[in-house]
Structure 1
Amino acid sequence: MAENIAFTNLLAETLNNMTTGEAAAAMAKAKLGPKYLPLCPFDHKDVSQQHIEDCDKPGKVPLLAKWPDKASDDPSVLNRWFIQRSNLNLGMTLGRRVGVIGFDIDGEYGRNKVEQLFNGCLPPTWEFSTPGGGARLLFSVPKGPPLQKLADTNPHADHEELALLADGQMTVIPPSRHQNGGQYLWLPGRGPGDISLAELPAEILKKMRSSKVSGTSSEDFKEMPDSDLRKLADRCHVVREAVTEQVAGGCSEERWHEIISMLVRAGYPSTALTFSQMSKKHDGHSEKRIRQMESAGDSATYGQTRCSTFGCDAEQIAHCHGSVRKSQRTGEISNSPAALLLSSAARTASTKRMTLASFTKLLSKRYSLNNSNLCQVRVNKDGSSDHFPLANFVARITKTITRDDGAERTTLYEIDGAIISPERKLPAIQVLANDFDSMKWVSMWGPEPNILPGNQIKDTVRHAIQSTAAGAPSERIFAHLGWVKIDGIWRYLHAGGALGLSNIKVELDDRLQNYVLPSFPVNPKEAMKSSLNLLGVAPLRVTLVLWSLVYLTPLCEMLRQMQLEPKFLVWLSGHTGTRKTSLAMLFLSHFGDLLQHPPASFKDTANSVEKRAFDTKDSLLLIDDFHPTASPKDKRDMEQVAQKMLRGYGDRIARGRMRQDTSLRKDFIPRGTGLATAEDMVSGGSSAARLVSSELLKDDVDLDKLTKAQREAGKLSEAMSGYLEWVGQAMNAPLSSRLKDLFFEKRNEAASLGVHGRLVDASALLYMGLISGLEYAESVGAITPDQKVQLLEKAWRVFLNAASEQGDKVTEVKPSTRFVTIVSQLLANKSIHCNSVNREPIPETVPKGSTHVGWHDDNYYYFLPELIYNELSQFLSKRGEQFPVSSETLWKELADAGLSRPEVSKQKNGRERRHTLAKKTIKSERPRLLWVKRDALHEKVEKETKNKAREELRSGTDDCDELDLLGEP
């Protein structure tokens, strides 16, 4: 290493703040020894679709074919690679060829092992951190024979190891980014310009070579299921070490691709599949990649992996192969480990799709293809075989698919096949596992596939097809949004996959397809400032509720575990033209590209909206446009949707469902939060208690700010992506009681208002969402501590005011209150009348067309119960409504509220019995009547003082600029 170089541009802090292209050029100019190469972007932006399908390690895969030979330390070459693609990651070659090796330290196990390896005397050297919580240490080694990767892996935990990275390998280096959005960073004082690269002591290398690697011994190779792989591992130390790494936990992406591509191009796809399946990392995507390599055949853009790619020099190659072969065109060594397979000369690469011969290999020995039919084979006593025809086609199970929607797991089989004669491929279809045995699914291929008649033949064909499933891969598909545990870690699902994890498949309802989040925020501070700017688009009494709801939503899973799941729906009301839908979709855009089309509407069926509320787990669902209509049917349908959503979100319950076999299905209970836009209020006192109402008035929305926010709507999903990563850290840590304590503190404070308990809970929960969102904003520098405190104080007043007002609305729509209101109006306009109990009515004084409903004196009205209830029902019926409770329930509520006088009598057993209808002597008869206090129907409650106080409180919550949220914190 050249140590007398001016390292000004190679200080850790300087390199960390460069682009990857700038860092590559700076390190290349210093001639440090290694060479550099471009890697794919961590977010796969601007790469080919083929690369996206093949690459399961974004940000870590070289973009150069034969990269060990093409990697460069020429600044002009590096500039050419990076100048047009500033988002590429940066890789650095390792090994004795360049004189630098690395230690990859993952987890506590890795840290302990490196301390043991160096006896606690780890020399200072170049070091950088990885976004996954690991570290890389780099050391200089003398150039010489190749060093292969060595690994000491914790067999009892994932992603915990100490690995020596050497020849044939490269490492991602700062300032590259990880697929989770985090950055690789040189540690302070440990960059190439801060400190000299330490030499690796010889005894350390000796210890690593002599240590037992991941508990795997040579005896394990005797049990390898593939004889060709065992033969190759016996003759090639590179393959042997790769197999060891696979068994221990999985080799690197680069090494996996080198081994797999070599085996497939040599004509051994099944051996390649066996090698891949030896690691628990193997999944459906691995299988897909191997099949794509197989189908590419000779058209593949790569050849068999050469020995030199694995880091072997000419001396080592000659020792293994007996001679060194060189390309006549390039003069490069062309030996490949694949040539060590004894049968390689007789085998050619598979270039065709599955043929009938391939299907035959998958069948058990009990079946064969004979005379254009799938046949059952029966062996006679003399050793001869008879072939009994079963069908004119053959099929195989290519994949088992499990679809998980959070309530049920549905298993499907992906099946393809072929007509035997003339040979014709049958396309892949998906069949429910429960329907597989019936064989009725064969009709999905049309009439040509034909099963012969006869007892048990159909079931025999089924058995033949099912016997092909042994090597079929399994795939898991999620069908919902929100938090889910994958391999013991909480991950947030969106329509594009899982944040911080590749190769997760999510399939959703078409209306939810735009719930796609970026993998990370490009600029977390600016993204959160854009989110905070939404508070100024409309009065704070509206925007604070919406902003708090947005940041409360991702906490649903955590709150569910605390038994504090939000149980309310936000009801954003306003007349036509108040921009309520535009405002609602703007806030909804935190969860994806959702500025154009609401995911749900009150015009949708109640069942479809209920299912979307279930699928949008830990996400916000907008249900748009509850509006007045002249059509009784439309009004009834919208009311049904509203009531189902209010009870779904308000009670977290759903309508029970039964399968055809009478077993119960799991309910579709809402698992996120809901926001409804409306021009009208929903009816029912209990319904009103399940919502948080926020009203937009004319000119409340600042159109200039709305337009600007809509143009920057993409930043809102970036803000949410960063917030979710922040929340995820808390999700994956031991559950804290802080949120629970905060909820009870704010709930007790709000309870002093004396309003409905549900509304008090809603206020406390909104405050929790607000404080969580603001704490994240403060952590990224988007808001100052003083601004946060101001906003929290103002918001709490807004929430309390909204709860108080909503509490009055709940009271206004209580059945007893509605009775008093309606009956007093009917009496006032003389639609109904009561006669005096003390004298006969004068005919001339009786209002024409008025209905007699009872009597009165100075203290009570004595209503004929059925008549007065009938008048109530008729009055509401003309308005398209119905009274929410029965007459018996209404009489009880009036008595409980102290508005009517019940009658208490003693029974023979001495117990008291309360009658909600009391006897009254009228014209020598004693009927049971409803005694309603006269003052209750004529009393006028003065509310001016309370309303004035509310207006003062409201006026103090409409100004956002005083918080200075738009300025720099």
Structure 2
Amino acid sequence: MTKKTGKPFLEVVNNPHKPEPKKTGNGGGSGKSATQRFGDYAIIGGAFYQIKAVRAGPDGQGFVEIQLCDFVCKIMEEVTHDDGLQDQAFVRIEGRRMDGLPLPPVDVPSTKFYSTQGNWINEYYGTLAFVYPGPSKRDNLRAAIQLYSALAGDVPRRQVFKFTGWKQIGGGWCYLTGSGAIKAEGLRQDVQVELGQGHISRYTLPPPFAADEVKAAAGLVSALLNICPGKPQVGAALLAAVARAPLGECHPIDFAVFIHGITGAGKSAITAIPLAFFGDFTARSFPANFSDTDTDMEMKAFQVKDGVFVVDDFKPSVSQSEAAKLHARAERFIRNTGNQAGRGRRGSELQSKAAPYNRSMTFITGEDLPKGQSLLGRLLILELTRADVDFSVLTELQQAASLGKLAGLMAAYLQWLAARMDRLKKDFPEKVISLRNLTKQGNYASSHTRAPEIFANLVAGAAQFTEFLESGAAIDREQAAVLLDSVESGLMQAFSEQQAYQTEQDEVERFLALLRALFASGNAHIACRLNQGPPPEGKRHFLGWREANIGIGEKDWRPTGDCVGWYCNGGDTGPEVWLDQNNAFAAVQKMARDQGETFLMSAPTLWRRMLEKELIIATEKRPNGTKQTTVKRTISSTKRRVMVLSAKLIESES
């Protein structure tokens, strides 16, 4: 018997009296009071309870109801997010508190929901929901939610893709876009693609144009080619890049297009046109810029698979430290694009994790160029001035973009590609290799070893797009030949200009230019190798010597700065300059720093490059057969190791 009720104890256990839930005044009072039992759990008064068997009652089979929480919730669906790196599963949960207050729908990662240590209720609902304390309450609550959610059958499941581009779904190729998936039969809207918030969500294509609409839009292709009448290479590169972008599934895109020029040249307006082929974009809605974090920029470039991606506004700051950070960010992004590799990552248990990398056809805009020959070799550089753009043509293309004509044309191209993807995955790489070999033989693109490959990729993409237009009768065979010839000739012009950018960033040429600047500015000098005095007349000023007054009516030549080498007038091939490698390199590095720059190459690599260019005219063989870039020479009766160059190389620019 209990003192409080006067009833037998077992009767109290089997029929416990539970207080009415308190009203909070904000729930509407619509919580359920009916009891619904399922397995070892039940819903009583709008909350989950555990029904636990106890040895009680006449037959020893009593039970007790243990309240787990103050709400009821249900798994509405299981969602799998495929981001191209790994699948992440979520459960969408909706619920109601026992006082009738609706709990907001939440997407809980499956790893948190099913974890025995999970605390997802507090994380997602905060103080709105309460779970009673106890060693097994959370496990039992998870089991109750799972069983309750499956009462009417299996929980619905769906897949959400977090990237654009080609994906095999149901045995066929589909191009994922924000509006669904484009396949050979047209646009499938039952495929869900969620790219995230911000401008990245603008990657949305309409249903593919019909044949007559494609024919009507074919004139826009000619307009794009003529967007810069005085520089046909610009329009050719833009069109070829648009055509090449969806073929990334067939052959990786390991280069980018860099559009640079002074402010007001129309860089952003021009670049927005190829981007508008893939969604609702303008010059004010680019998906990325150089103020983004490295990780954000890399992940977005990974998301935009087989599409055009733009990183806007490469403009180094007046602050040297900020400029250095921006150059480092650009170098990392462009180098990873060229290498088709992302930054390696490790999980909490030091296990290797898949890293995002650039899977797009990338355009970069900027007022300056990245540093280094190697980086420029991964780029096709297009330079714009304020007089280059035909703004009437630009306006026509912008209006077409706003009406969805560019996106509709691209959707039709993708529909055409979808039926041919299996064949193209085999044939397209072979076509690129064939064109690359022809490009090397014809010497169309010789600025860098990567240039023939980039040229071949763009021409192969343009050829595929031309075939699409011709096959749909949008243009005839003669027009197709003229179109492709225009693209090829424009690209040849573009690649013929790349050599100038490579020369500007050639560290060997830069070393020699800085060395000449040292002498011209009076920060270093070359001495005569016989007596450490001035070199022969007529050459002294160019080699860092200045005329100075030493008395009334008397003048003499005095050296400036440190001595970095010696002049020899009697070399086998004419006058020579013998450089002290250490002094010369240190002086050039200091000169670069004084200009707010850095000399990017190490000394040993620089000497090897100069040897490869045959600028070092005297070498010695090492025992292993390799050439040593310094030789022994006598300077004022003393033997020293020096690097021997032609004096003409120092006295004047090549």
TM-score range, shorter chain: 0.7 to 0.9
Distance in structure 2 (CA, Å) of the matches to 1:608 and 1:877: 31
Partner SS, residue 127 of structure 2:
coil
Shift of 1:895: 2.3
Q: Is the Cα–Cα contact under 8 Å of residues 31 and 97 in structure 2 kept in the other structure?
A: no
Give the partner amino acid of 2:590.
Answer: Q
Aligned 8 A contact 1:573 1:680 in 2: yes
Cα gap change, 1:746/1:370 in structure 2, threshold over 3 Å: closer, same or farther? closer
Deviations 1:441-475 (A, max 9, x none): 11121224222223233333233333345421112
2:106 aligns with one of 429, 438, 453: 429
Summarize the Cα distance change of 1:644–1:473 in structure 2 as closer, same or farther, 3 Å threshold: same
Q: 1:39-63 deviations in whole A, cap 9, x for unaligned?
A: xxxxxxxxxxxxxxxxxxxxxxxxx
Measure the CA separation in 1 of the matches of 2:209 and 2:217. Answer: 7
1:631 Cα deviation after fit: 2.5
Partner of 2:552: none
Partner of 2:407: 717
In 2, are the aligned partners of 1:403 and 1:478 still within 8 Å (CA)? yes
- Counting only pairs closer than 5 Å after superposition, residues 559-708 of structure 1 correspond to structure 2 as 559=251, 565-595=252-282, 596-708=284-396
Q: How does 1:510-525 map to 2 (within 5 A)?
A: 510-521=198-209, 523-525=213-215
Which one of the candidate residues 455, 467, 470 is aligned to 2:147? Answer: 467
Q: Spell out, residue by residue over 1:640-673, the C-alpha distance to the aligned partner (whole angstroms, 9 max, x if none).
A: 3321231132221211122223222211111111
1:531–1:716: 8 Å Cα contact kept in structure 2?
A: no
Residues in 2 aligned to 1:624 and 1:760: alpha-carbon distance in whole angstroms: 26
Task: Give the TM-score taking structure 1 as reference length.
Answer: 0.56
Matches within 5 A, 1:313-352: none
How many angstroms apart in 2 are the aligned matches of 1:700 and 1:763? 23
What is the SS of the residue equivalent to 2:635?
coil
Is the Cα contact below 8 Å between 1:549 and 1:766 reproduced in 2?
yes
Within the candidate set 204, 207, 228, 1:538 is matched to 228
Distance in 2 separating the partners of 1:904 and 1:468: 85
Q: 1:223-269, CA deviations, whole angstroms, 9 ceiling, x for partnerless residues? A: xxxxxxxxxxxxxxxxxxxxxxxxxxxxxxxxxxxxxxxxxxxxxxx
Q: Distance in 2 between matches of 1:465 and 1:768?
A: 56
| Distance in 1 (alpha carbons) for counterparts of 2:265 and 2:439 | 30
Distance 1:371 1:825 in 2: 87
Q: Using the TM superposition, give the Cα deviation of residue 680 of structure 1 relative to its aligned residue in structure 2, in angstroms.
A: 1.9
Matched residue, 2:553: none
What's the counterpart of residue 856 of structure 1? 567
Shift of 1:513: 1.5
Partner of 1:807: 499
CA–CA distance in structure 2, aligned partners of residues 434 and 727 of structure 1: 39
Q: Percent identity?
A: 27
Paired residue type of 1:876: A
1:162-212 Cα distance to aligned partner (Å, 9 max, x none): xxxxxxxxxxxxxxxxxxxxxxxxxxxxxxxxxxxxxxxxxxxxxxxxxxx
Instruction: After TM superposition, give the deviation of residue 757 of structure 1 in Å.
Output: 2.3
Figure out how many residues of one structure are paired with residues of the other and give that number: 576
Whole-Å Cα distance in 2 between the matches of residues 553 and 425 of structure 1?
A: 47
Q: Alpha-carbon deviation of 1:617?
A: 0.4
Q: Which amino acid aligns with 1:825?
A: A
CA distance in 2, matches of 1:393, 1:589: 48
Q: What are the within-5 Å matches in structure 2 for residues 472-487 of structure 1?
A: 472-487=155-170
Amino acid at match of 2:141: V
Aligned pairs (5 A) from 1:487-498: 487-498=170-181
1:442 to 108, 116, 121: 121
- Paired with 2:605 and 2:595, the residues of 1 have a C-alpha distance of 22
Aligned partner (choices 472, 488, 505) of residue 192 of structure 2:
505
Among 377, 380, 386, the alignment partner of 2:51 is: 377
Return the letter of the residue paired with 1:440: N
Contact 2:532 2:636 in 1 (8 A): no
Q: CA, structure 1 residues 867+719, in 2 after alignment: closer, same or farther (shift >3 Å)?
A: same
Assess, with a 3 A threshold, how the Cα gap between structure 1 residues 376 and 759 changes in structure 2: closer, same or farther.
same
Query: Is the 8 Å Cα contact of residues 33 and 46 (structure 2) preserved in structure 1?
Result: no
The yes-or-no answer on 1:930 pairing with 2:630 is no
Shift of 1:569: 0.7
Question: Which residue identity does 1:389 align to in structure 2?
Answer: Q
1:895 equivalenced with 2:604 (yes/no): no
Greater RCO, 1 or 2 (C-alpha within 8 Å, sep 6+): 2
Q: How far is 1:879 from its partner? A: 2.8
Say which of 574, 582, 596 aligns to 1:880. Answer: 596
Partner residue of 1:824?
516
TM-score under structure 2 length normalisation? 0.82
Q: Quick one: distance in 2 between partners of 1:661 and 1:846?
A: 69
Q: Which one-letter code corresponds to 2:632 in the other structure?
A: K
Please report the RMSD computed on the Cα atoms of aligned residues, expressed in angstroms: 2.6
SS of residue paired to 1:920: strand
Return the letter of the residue paired with 2:498.
Q
Map 1:185-584 onto structure 2 (within 5 A): 360=36, 364-370=38-44, 374-380=48-54, 382-420=60-98, 422-436=99-113, 437=115, 438-443=117-122, 444-470=124-150, 471-499=154-182, 500-509=187-196, 510-521=198-209, 523-539=213-229, 540-559=232-251, 565-584=252-271
Is contact 2:253-2:359 (8 Å) kept? no
**1:356–1:418 contact (8 Å) kept in structure 2:** no
Task: Give the conservation status (yes or no) of the 8 Å contact 1:521–1:527.
Answer: no
Q: Secondary structure at the match of 1:757?
A: coil
CA contact (8 A) 1:658 1:665 kept: yes
Q: Could you say which residue in structure 2 is the equivalent of 1:746?
A: 435
What's the CA shift string for 1:135-183, capped at 9, x where partnerless?
xxxxxxxxxxxxxxxxxxxxxxxxxxxxxxxxxxxxxxxxxxxxxxxxx
Change (3 A) 1:463 1:693: same
Unaligned runs of 5+ in 1: 1-352, 560-564, 942-969
Look up the SS of the partner of 1:670 in the other structure. coil
The one-character-per-residue Cα deviations of 1:503-522 (angstroms, maximum 9, x if unpaired) are 21111132211111111215
- Cα distance in 2 for residues equivalent to 1:580 and 1:515: 21
Quote the Cα distance in structure 2 between the aligned partners of 1:830 and 1:719.
62
Partner SS state of residue 418, structure 1: strand
Structure 1 residue 728: deviation in Å?
0.9
Amino acid at match of 1:936: L
Return the offset for 1:488: 1.4
Describe the SS at the equivalent of 1:447: helix
The answer as to whether partners of 1:609 and 1:641 remain within 8 angstroms in 2 is: no
User: Are 1:794 and 2:507 counterparts?
Assistant: no
8 A contact 1:537–1:702 mirrored in 2: yes
Q: Is the 8 A contact 1:398 1:469 kept in 2?
A: yes
CA distance in 1, matches of 2:140, 2:394: 66
Structure 2: state its 5+ residue gaps.
1-29, 535-544, 549-555
Distance 2:397 2:484 in 1: 23
How much has 1:385 moved relative to structure 2? Answer: 1.6
Kept in 1: contact 2:208–2:410 (CA 8 A): no
Deviations 1:572-609 (A, max 9, x none): 12222221211111222111111242221123222222
Q: Match for 2:127: what amino acid?
A: P
User: Which residue of the partner structure matches residue 24 of structure 2?
Assistant: none
Structure 1 range deviating more: 916-925 or 597-606: 916-925
Bigger drift between 612-621 and 812-821 goes to 812-821
- Contact 1:747 1:761 (C-alpha < 8 Å) held by counterparts: yes
